[in-house]
C-alpha cells in the first residue's frame, strides 16, 4: 500500500490531451525494445517525451508503474521510497517491509534495502515496466550510485523506461555494450512530415494545405514547440497560405511576422517587460527589476509562466528562467528595430548587477555586448583572481582575443596572464609565442628593484609564477622551474597569495616526477593550505587530485581515497562546473577498484572517461580503460574486458600515441590475455616490446602532446608504468613455468620499487613473488613474503589485488592465518579474502589471473580418466568416487577452464598442455 506521506500525484499517469497526435512509429520502437533492461527517451524540453510515454501506456499489456521525479528525490532514501511506492500501484504490498525500514531513523544502508526489494521482485512479480519521468532532476551522487546498483542487479521481469532532458548522470556505456539499453533521442522524437501535417491540420483545419504544412515543418525542423509557435501566430489568420509564404521567406520576415502576431497581442506592460529582458540569456526577478527599472518582476514572471509565453524555468524553485532561444532572438530583433537607444543602458545595468553578484562571465559578456572595452578590461582586471580560481581559462582567452590590441597596450598584466591560460588549454605553440611577447613587453628585470614601480614588480612576479608552471609541466626544465619559483616569492608580496600558490603548486609536481615522494606529499599539503587561503579553487582541485595519485603511488590507499574525495567534493560544491574535474572521478575509480568496490569503481571511471577521451589525454585514457577491463575480469566477463582493451586501442590510435604509450597499451593487452590462457599473444609481447625499456627518465615527453594543463600536471611518472610492465612480465614466466626467470624479474622490480619508495604495485609484486617461491617449493620464504604483503594490505585496505589471484593463494592464506593468531585485523582480513575468493570462484568460474596449473592433481586425474572415452559411471568406479563427486569435479574443471562441455574441456586442456 502506498504510504500516506507520498505525494500521490507523482504516481499518476498523465492523461492525453484531445489534440494529441499519435506517435505510432515511436510506439512501435518502444514495443520492439521494451524487453531491454533500460529504455531511455532523452531530448530537450518541447519534444513530447512525457506525451509519448503516456500514449504508450494506453496500449501496452504490461503492468506499468509511473513516477514523475523532481529535485526532492535527490536523496537515496526518498528516491527509493518513491520508486517502491510507484511499483506498489501495481503490486500492492510489495516492499512494505523495506518501506518500514526506510522510515526508521536508523535504517541500514540504502543499497541493502534496494537489494532486499529487488529480491522481493525476483520472487513475487511477473513482468512489469517502471517509468521514471523527468530524470534530469536527479543530480545527487548517492541516488546515481543507487541507480547503477539497480541496473546492475535488475531482475529479469523488471523493465525501466526513463525520460530526461539531459544525458543520464549515470554511465550508460556498459549497458550499451551489453545490449541492455535502447535509446530514443532528438532525431527520433522530432515530428516527421506526416506527423507535422497531422498536427497542423488538427489545429488549423482546412486552412492549411499539405504544401504549407511541409514548409512549416522544414522551417521548424520538426521541433514540436516551434510548430506550436507557428500555430499560435496563425490561428486568427483567414489566409494561412499567404502567411505561410511570408513565414517561409527570409529570416527578418519571419521575425517581424511572429513579433507582430504574438507580441502585439500581449498587454503593453508585458510587451515592454519582454523586450527589455530579451537581452538576458538567463534572468531572475531581482535582475529584471534592475534592468527594467520596476519592482514587480516576480509577479511578471509568474504571469509569463502561466501564459505559456516561452518561459523556461532553469531550476525547480522557479528562481532563474530563460526564454526559448528562438523567441528571445525575435524579441531582441524587435528591440533593436524599435528601441535601439535602450540597448546600451540595458546591457550596462545588467553588467552592473552581475558584477555586484560576482557572476563574472555574465557581467563581462554584457560589457562586451555594448563594445565598451574600457569597461570590459576593468571587469576582467577586477575579477582576475576569481577567473583564475574558478578555472575560467577558455572564457578569458575568448575575452582577451576579442579586445582590440590598442586597448591592451597599456595593460601588460592581461597579456602576461594569457600565457598561463594558453598553457592550461593546451595551446602550446601560441603559449610560447605569447611568452616571448610578454617578456619583450616587460623587458628584463632590473637588478635594482627600487628602480621599478610596485606595479612593474608585481607584473614580473606574476610572469615568474607562470614561468614556474610552464617550465615545470611544460618543458620539464627542473632547475629553471625551481629558479622561477624562488623568484616568485621574492617579487610578490604576501597579499598576492594566488600567484604565490600557483608557483608553489609546480614544486611538488617536480619532486613527484623526480621520485621524491615524501617531499612531494609534504609540499602538496602545504600548497593545499595556500590554495584555501587564496580561494584558489581550481588549483585546490588539481592539488588534491595529484596528491591522491601520489599517495597511491606510495601505497597509501586510505589517504589517497580521503584526498580524492576532497577533490570530488569541490566539484560537487561548485555544481560540477570546475573545468577538467572529471579526472578526479577517474582516480577515485581506480582507488575503489584497489579496495574491492567494483561497482562504484566502474561508475566513477565511466564518469571520468567521457571528458578525458574528449580532451585526448592518452595516458589517462589508458589508465581508465585498463582499470575498467580489470573490473570486467574480476566480474568474470572476459569478453567485455577484451572489448574494452580493443576500444582503448581504437581511441588512442586516433591520438597519435607515442612509442611509450603503445608499449603500455600492449602491456595491458598482454595482462588481459594472461587472464584467458592466450599465452601466445603474451609471448609475442614479451619478445617484441622491449617491455622494460620506456623512453625518458622521469616523465614521458610532455611536449609531444597538447594536453590541457591539468593532465600534464597529473601525469604518472615513468617508473610507475615500468613497475606494472615488469610485474606482468613476471606473471607470464609464472604462467609458462619458467619460475626462476620470473623470480629474477620480480626481485629486480621489488628492489627498484623499494629503493624508489613506490608502493602502487608493491603488494602485487610481493604476491607474485610468493607464488613463484611456493611453486619452487621455497615454502618458508614464500610464506614470509606473503605474510609481509598481507601486513601491508591490512594497513591500507588493498583487497582486490589478492582477490585477483583467486585459489592460487589458498594454501598461502592458510599458512599465514596460523601466524599471529591474536592479530584480529589480519585474521578478519584473511577470512574476508577467503570468503570473497570462494564467492568469486562460484560466480565467475575462474580466478582473474588464470594459469594452466590451476587444476588440482585430482582434477587433472579426472580429466585424464574421462579423456579415454569411458562413461561417467565407469570413471567414477575407476577413481573410487561417487558419481555425484565426479560431477562436482567436472563442474569445477569446466569453471576453471571457462568451458561448458567435456569436449571443450579436453580441447582446452590439450591446448594448455595439461593433457598430452
Strand order in the sheet with 38-42: 64-68, 128-133, 158-164, 38-42, 181-184
Please identify, among 803, 826, 851, the residue that sits at the C-terminal boundary of a domain. Answer: 851
Q: Does the residue 110 lie in any domain?
A: yes
Contact yes or no for 76/110 (Cβ under 8 A)? yes
How far is 894 from 888, CA to CA, in rounded Å?
10
For 542, other C-beta atoms within 10 Å of its C-beta total 29
Pair (793, 884) in one structural domain: no
Same domain? For 132 and 198 the reply is no
Taking the C-alpha atoms of residue 295 and residue 640, their distance in angstroms, rounded to an integer, is 60
Q: In whole angstroms, what is the distance from residue 304 CA to residue 300 CA? A: 6
865 shares a domain with 814: no
Domain that holds residue 234: 193-249
| Chain position carrying cell 541493502 | 112
Q: For residues 148 and 216, state if they share a domain.
A: no
Residue 700's pLDDT band (boundaries 50, 70, 90)? low
540: in domain: no
Check whether 851 has a pLDDT greater than 50. Answer: no
Q: Look up the CATH number of the domain holding residue 891.
A: 1.10.10.10
Collect all residues with Cβ–Cβ distance below 8 Å to 470 and sequence separation of at least 6: 419, 420, 423, 431, 435
C-alpha cell at 537: 579553487
pLDDT in tens, 749-788: 999 999 999 999 999 999 999 999 999 999 999 999 999 9
C-alpha cell at 439: 617578456
Q: Is the pLDDT of residue 659 over 60?
A: yes
The per-residue pLDDT for range 202-244, each reduced to its tens digit, is 887 777 888 888 877 776 667 676 677 677 767 766 677 766 6
Tell me, yes or no, whether 26 and 124 share the same domain.
Answer: yes
pLDDT the model gives residue 313: 77
| In-domain check, residue 594 | no
Give the model's confidence band at 254: pLDDT under 50 very low, under 70 low, under 90 confident, else very high.
very low
- Residue 257's pLDDT is 43
Compute the distance between CA of residue 99 and CA of residue 96 in angstroms, rounded to an integer: 5
- Supply 254's cell numbers: 519571419
Beta-bridge mates of residue 66: 131
* pLDDT class of 545 with cuts at 50, 70, 90: very high
In this structure, is residue 548 part of a structural domain? no
Q: Model pTM greater than 0.85?
A: no
pLDDT at 430 over 80: yes
Q: Is residue 740 assigned to a domain?
A: no
Residue count of the chain: 916
Asked if the structure places residue 398 within a domain, the reply is no
Pair (140, 212) in one structural domain: no
User: Do 72 and 101 share a domain, yes or no?
Assistant: yes
Q: Which residues contact 413 (CB under 8 A, 6 or more apart)?
A: 381, 384, 458, 459, 462
pLDDT-based confidence at 128, cuts 50/70/90? Answer: very high
| Domain final residue, candidates 145, 170, 189 | 189
Q: State whether 36 and 55 are in the same domain.
A: yes
Query: In the structure, what pLDDT confidence band is assigned to residue 874 with cuts at 50, 70 and 90?
Result: confident
**pLDDT (mean) for 173-187:** 75
> Do residues 220 and 107 share a domain?
no
Range with the lowest mean pLDDT among 443-447, 575-579, 770-774? 575-579
DSSP 8-state assignment for residue 235? T
Task: Verify that 84 and 104 share a domain, yes or no.
Answer: yes
Asked if residue 199 and residue 93 are part of one domain, the reply reads no
Residue 568 lies in a domain: no
In angstroms, rounded to a whole number, what is the distance separating the alpha carbons of residues 706 and 557?
31
Domain shared by 46 and 184, yes or no: yes
Q: What secondary structure letter does DSSP report for 448?
A: S
Residue where one domain finishes, among candidates 141, 165, 189: 189
Give the count of alpha carbons within 13 A of 671, CB side only. Answer: 26
**Tens digit of each residue's pLDDT (9 = 90 or more) over 411-424:** 899 999 999 999 88
- Write the secondary structure of 259-317 as one string of H (helix), E (strand) and C (coil): HHHHHHHCCHHHHHHHHHHCCCCCEEHHHHHHHHCCCCHHHHHHHHHHHCCCEEECCCC
Q: pLDDT tens-digit profile of 799-818?
A: 999 998 888 888 888 888 88
* Number of domains present in the structure of the chain: 4
Tell me if 672 is assigned to some domain.
Answer: no
Confidence of residue 588 (pLDDT cuts 50, 70, 90): very high
Arithmetic mean of pLDDT, 315-324: 80
The pairing of strands 320-323 and 311-313 is antiparallel
Give which of 489, 509, 510 is closest to 499, Cα–Cα.
Answer: 489
Amino acid at each position: 500500500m502506498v504510504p500516506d506521506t507520498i505525494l500521490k500525484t507523482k504516481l499518476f499517469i498523465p492523461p492525453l490531451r484531445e489534440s494529441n497526435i499519435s506517435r505510432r512509429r515511436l510506439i512501435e520502437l518502444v514495443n520492439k525494445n521494451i524487453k531491454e533492461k533500460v529504455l531511455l527517451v532523452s531530448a530537450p524540453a518541447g519534444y513530447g517525451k512525457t506525451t509519448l510515454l503516456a500514449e504508450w501506456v494506453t496500449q501496452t499489456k504490461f503492468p506499468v508503474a509511473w513516477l514523475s521525479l523532481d529535485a526532492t528525490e535527490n536523496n537515496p532514501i526518498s528516491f527509493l521510497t518513491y520508486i517502491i511506492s510507484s511499483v506498489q500501484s501495481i503490486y500492492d504490498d510489495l516492499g512494505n517491509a523495506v518501506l518500514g525500514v526506510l522510515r526508521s531513523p536508523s535504517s541500514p544502508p540504502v543499497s541493502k534495502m534496494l537489494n532486499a526489494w529487488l529480491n522481493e521482485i525476483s520472487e513475487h512479480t511477473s513482468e512489469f515496466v517502471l517509468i521514471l519521468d523527468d530524470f534530469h532532476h536527479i543530480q545527487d551522487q548517492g541516488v546515481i550510485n543507487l541507480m547503477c546498483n539497480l541496473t546492475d542487479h535488475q531482475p529479469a521481469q523488471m523493465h525501466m523506461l526513463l525520460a530526461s532532458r539531459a544525458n543520464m548522470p549515470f554511465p550508460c556505456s556498459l549497458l550499451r555494450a551489453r545490449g541492455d539499453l535502447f535509446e530514443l533521442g532528438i532525431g527520433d522524437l522530432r515530428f516527421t512530415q506526416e506527423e507535422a501535417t497531422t498536427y497542423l491540420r488538427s489545429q488549423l483545419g482546412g486552412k492549411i494545405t499539405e504544401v504549407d504544412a511541409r514548409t512549416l515543418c522544414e522551417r521548424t525542423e520538426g521541433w514540436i514547440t516551434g510548430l506550436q509557435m507557428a500555430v499560435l501566430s496563425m490561428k486568427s489568420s483567414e489566409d494561412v497560405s499567404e502567411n505561410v509564404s511570408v513565414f517561409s521567406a527570409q529570416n527578418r520576415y519571419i521575425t517581424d511576422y511572429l513579433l507582430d502576431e504574438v507580441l502585439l497581442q500581449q498587454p503593453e506592460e508585458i510587451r515592454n517587460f519582454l523586450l527589455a529582458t530579451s537581452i538576458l540569456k538567463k534572468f531572475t526577478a531581482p535582475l529584471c527589476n534592475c534592468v527594467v527599472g520596476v519592482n514587480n518582476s516576480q509577479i511578471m514572471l509568474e504571469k509569463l509562466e502561466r501564459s505559456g509565453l516561452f518561459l523556461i524555468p532553469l531550476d525547480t524553485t522557479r528562481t532563474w528562467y530563460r526564454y526559448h532561444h528562438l523567441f528571445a532572438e525575435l524579441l531582441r530583433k524587435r528591440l533593436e528595430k524599435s528601441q535601439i537607444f535602450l540597448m546600451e543602458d540595458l546591457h550596462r545595468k545588467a553588467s552592473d548587477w552581475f558584477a555586484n553578484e560576482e557572476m563574472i562571465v555574465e557581467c563581462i559578456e554584457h560589457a562586451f555586448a555594448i563594445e565598451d572595452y574600457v569597461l570590459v578590461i576593468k571587469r576582467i582586471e577586477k575579477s582576475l583572481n576569481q577567473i583564475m580560481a574558478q578555472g575560467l581559462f577558455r572564457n578569458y582567452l575568448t575575452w582577451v582575443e576579442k579586445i582590440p590590441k590598442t586597448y591592451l597596450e597599456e595593460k601588460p598584466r592581461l597579456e602576461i596572464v594569457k600565457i598561463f591560460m594558453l598553457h592550461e588549454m593546451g595551446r602550446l605553440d601560441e603559449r610560447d609565442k605569447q611568452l616571448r611577447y610578454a617578456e619583450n613587453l616587460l623587458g628584463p628585470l632590473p637588478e635594482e628593484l627600487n628602480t621599478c614601480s610596485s606595479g612593474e614588480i608585481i607584473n614580473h612576479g606574476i610572469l615568474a609564477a607562470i614561468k614556474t608552471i610552464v617550465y615545470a609541466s611544460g618543458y620539464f626544465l627542473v632547475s629553471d622551474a625551481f629558479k622561477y619559483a624562488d623568484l616568485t616569492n621574492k617579487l610578490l608580496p604576501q597579499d598576492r597569495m594566488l600567484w604565490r600558490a600557483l608557483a608553489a603548486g609546480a614544486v611538488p609536481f617536480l619532486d613527484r616526477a623526480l621520485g621524491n615522494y615524501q617531499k612531494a606529499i609534504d609540499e602538496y599539503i602545504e600548497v593545499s593550505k595556500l590554495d584555501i587561503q587564496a580561494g584558489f579553487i581550481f588549483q585546490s582541485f588539481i592539488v588534491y587530485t595529484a596528491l591522491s595519485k601520489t599517495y597511491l603511488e606510495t601505497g597509501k590507499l586510505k589517504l589517497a581515497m580521503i584526498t580524492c574525495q576532497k577533490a570530488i567534493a569541490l566539484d560537487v560544491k561548485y555544481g560540477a562546473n570546475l573545468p577538467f574535474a572529471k579526472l578526479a572521478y577517474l582516480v577515485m575509480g581506480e582507488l575503489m577498484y584497489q579496495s574491492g568496490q567494483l561497482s562504484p569503481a566502474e561508475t566513477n571511471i565511466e564518469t571520468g572517461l567521457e571528458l578525458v577521451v574528449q580532451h585526448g589525454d592518452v595516458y589517462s585514457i589508458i589508465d581508465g580503460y585498463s582499470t575498467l577491463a580489470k573490473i570486467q575480469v574480476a566480474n568474470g566477463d572476459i569478453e567485455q574486458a577484451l572489448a574494452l582493451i580493443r576500444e582503448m586501442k581504437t581511441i588512442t590510435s586516433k591520438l597519435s600515441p607515442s612509442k611509450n604509450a603503445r608499449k603500455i597499451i600492449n602491456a595491458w593487452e598482454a595482462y588481459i590475455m594472461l587472464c584467458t590462457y592466450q599465452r601466445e599473444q603474451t609471448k609475442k609481447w614479451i619478445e617484441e616490446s622491449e617491455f622494460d625499456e620506456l623512453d625518458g627518465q622521469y616523465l614521458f615527453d610532455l611536449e609531444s602532446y597538447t594536453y590541457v594543463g591539468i593532465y600534464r600536471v597529473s601525469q604518472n611518472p615513468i617508473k610507475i608504468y615500468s613497475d606494472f610492465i615488469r610485474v606482468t612480465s613476471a606473471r607470464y614466466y609464472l604462467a609458462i613455468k619458467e619460475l626462476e626467470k620470473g623470480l629474477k624479474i620480480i626481485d629486480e622490480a621489488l628492489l627498484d620499487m623499494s629503493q624508489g619508495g613506490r608502493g602502487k604495485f608493491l603488494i602485487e609484486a610481493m604476491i607474485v613473488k610468493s607464488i613463484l617461491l611456493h611453486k619452487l617449493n621455497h615454502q618458508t620464504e614464500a610464506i614470509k613474503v606473503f605474510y609481509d604483503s598481507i601486513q601491508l594490505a591490512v594497513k591500507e585496505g588493498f583487497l582486490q589485488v589478492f582477490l585477483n589471484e583467486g585459489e592460487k593463494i589458498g594454501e598461502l592464506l592458510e599458512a599465514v592465518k596460523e601466524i599471529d593468531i591474536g592479530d584480529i585485523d589480519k585474521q578478519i582480513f584473511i577470512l574476508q579474502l577467503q570468503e570473497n575468493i570462494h564467492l568469486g570462484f562460484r560466480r565467475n568460474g575462474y580466478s582473474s589471473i588464470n594459469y594452466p596449473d590451476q587444476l588440482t592433481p585430482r582434477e587433472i586425474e579426472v580429466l585424464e580418466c574421462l579423456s579415454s572415452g569411458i562413461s561417467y559411471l565407469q570413471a567414477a568406479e575407476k577413481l573410487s568416487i561417487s558419481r555425484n563427486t565426479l560431477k562436482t569435479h567436472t563442474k569445477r574443471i569446466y569453471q576453471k577452464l571457462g568451458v561448458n562441455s567435456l569436449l571443450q574441456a579436453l580441447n582446452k586442456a590439450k591446448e594448455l598442455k595439461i593433457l598430452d
